Amino acid sequence: MSKPLWLMMGTAFKIARPTDSAPEASTVHTGRTFFLTAKHTFIPWCCSEAASSLKIPEEYRKSRYVIGRLYAPLNDTHQRANASCFAEISLISSHPTLDVALLATKTFHDQSIEQTIAQTLPLSLCTDKEMPAQGAQCVINGFRGEGKLGELDTFDAGLLQKLSPKERETLLKELESVEGKQVAASTFVEVLDPLGMGHGIGDYNQCFHGMSGSPLLTLVGNKPLCCGVLYGKHPDYPENIGFIPSNAILPWIHNAIR
């Protein structure tokens, strides 16, 4: 990939189509595979209070200028992204008020990524009755940037100014090519507020850059369901984890893929 104006990393996950799709639904999206991610990883200017400082010229702040790539894990391990195995993805819909976006496959680099996506089981989203209560324990499974790429928030427009000259030079060099520099990561979370706030628990209690868009998973019976979409630090309580509850976005998803 050529050097972008701005680079964002995130996690996307395959979702099941809503079961209540109307029979008269449009066939525009027939055969496409859908994913959810955090909106700010795909169109960051829509989620930043300082969009002008993102160094993306205003005329380019349109989704048609965004190149989205979805990488598969390496064949011999699910711990690292495969830089040579990817699909181009496009934005289907961004939620008008919440930090979540719906993506769909566009083109496949080769047959292996197409097969990988086809064989990946989709996640169903929790309904109102299935949402975990306060105090429930869940897990976030996603991908983070490797090393410093996962520790430094490149969504922070003032990041470079906060680094020493040596750190700045190292980071800029690292950002020239990040393909394949994502590794699997999990975070264990206790739900503090079912409306969208949790707190990390245990030894794996932190989220890292690149995990935004990951599913928050809960068990209903013996089946893992997605009860939320991670977006990052909670805006009011930054020591806690913020997520979009799945039951809040079910109607939007249904309308977006009709």
Task: Compute the residue count for the chain.
Answer: 258
Residue 207 lies in a domain: yes
Q: Total domain count for the chain?
A: 1
Residue 2 lies in a domain: no
69 φ, ψ (degrees, to nearest 5)? -125, 135
Residue 5 lies in a domain: no
* Residue whose structure tokens are 């996640």: 123
Residue 3 lies in a domain: no
Q: How far is CA 110 from the centre of its chain?
A: 23
**Each residue's pLDDT tens digit in the chain (258 positions)?**
556 666 778 999 999 986 655 555 455 566 789 999 999 988 887 776 655 666 677 787 887 888 889 998 877 666 888 888 899 999 999 999 999 999 999 999 988 899 999 999 999 999 999 999 999 999 999 999 988 888 876 666 677 788 889 988 888 787 777 888 899 999 999 999 999 999 999 999 999 999 999 999 999 988 999 999 999 999 999 999 999 999 999 999 999 987
Q: Measure the CA–CA gap between 241 and 60, rounded to whole angstroms.
A: 31
DSSP per-residue letters across 41-61: GT-GGGS-TTGGGGT--GGG-
Residue 233 lies in a domain: yes
Q: Supply the pTM of this predicted model.
A: 0.88
Residue 8 lies in a domain: no
Burial bucket for residue 90 (CB in 10 Å: 0-12, 13-18, 19+): middle
Domain region containing 196: 13-256
Q: For every residue of 201-239, which 3-state class applies, written as one string?
A: CCCCCCCCCCCCCCEEEEEECCEEEEEEEEEEECCCCCC
